[in-house]
Amino acid sequence: MGTGKRRPLGDRYQLISPTGRDGPGIIWRAHDLRLRRDVAIKEIQPLFRADGADLDGARRRAMREARSAARLSHPAVVAVHDLLEEGGRLWIVMELLEALTLKETVAHLGHLPVHWTAWIGFQLLGGLRHAHGAGVLHRDINPGNILLTGDRVVLADFGIAALNGDPSASTTVPLHCAPAYVAPERLRGLTASPAADLWSFGASLYFAVEGRPPYPGSDSLAVLGEAVNRDPDPPVKAGPLRRVLEGLLRRDPSDRITADHAARLLSAILRMEGVAVDPPRLPAARLPPDSFAR
């Protein structure tokens, strides 16, 4: 049945067309009839088990994603407007961004120049520091979740986000997560942390400037084995970014550079390249207990 015959979700949102996937969900372009603006709506699809669809799991995942993203307000984090349940399905209403992912951009260009990569990293790190300052861990940063709009860099898909220190958060890495962008300690079953997000952030910048992931290959099991057992290959195209990448991709999370340190290094690279940026600042939110800053 065509989407034109659908009744508006919540008597407010008219679905127009699907635009892609976001983890285990479908993204729709839709129109908010009340505010008369287009929005993006993520339809959360349940995972299937031997005894059928995991509807309760889908509901928990939708609530976690919406609540995690909704507590954040930063240009580098996708804005969440609404959450509704209808017809046994969960729907998250978000801002609509006309954007390419970092993954798509690198696929078109081969790799990005150092100053582009540094600018993307500096903008994205602002959103990540804001999230960590609010106690939110993303846990799935990769080039497919980084959106480039032309004047914004936006982190999307908080589908497996968790609150820092939440004992109920699973330590299992979901199957849809690309192992080349998951911190080694998480692949070994340890709890996610801000440092693990920073490893994934560094792996995404490595992909941008090198044109390939830190552990290349199409065999997920082989990539997983390499990611657990060895350091990434040294970057060869990164130039002054090499210091940032090597600091972020240290296997021991306690040795990894902090977000503040990475922000200072990236801003220095941009100034050296003649790109004006504001000095890096600490997040406005108070850091949570058990602060990860060194």
| Residues involved in catalysis | 140
Q: Are 266 and 120 in contact (CB under 8 A)?
A: no
Q: Which two tokens stand for residue 99?
A: 């954007």
Helix ranges, the chain (H) = 55-70, 102-109, 114-133, 184-187, 194-210, 220-229, 242-248, 259-272
Q: Are 119 and 278 in contact (CB under 8 A)?
A: no
Residue 95 CB burial class (10 angstroms; 0-12, 13-18, ≥19): middle
Q: Which two tokens stand for residue 72?
A: 């954040």
Longest dimension (CA), the chain: 59
> Do the bridges between strand 37-44 and strand 25-32 make them parallel or antiparallel, or are there none, so unpaired?
antiparallel
Residues 6+ apart with CB under 8 A from 111: 208, 209, 210, 211, 237
| Residue 283: Cβ within 10 Å count | 18
CA distances 148 to 30, 128, 247, Å, are: 20, 15, 24
Instruction: Please state the length of the chain.
Output: 294
Q: Which two tokens stand for residue 95?
A: 């801002």
Cross-strand bridge partners of residue 89: 86
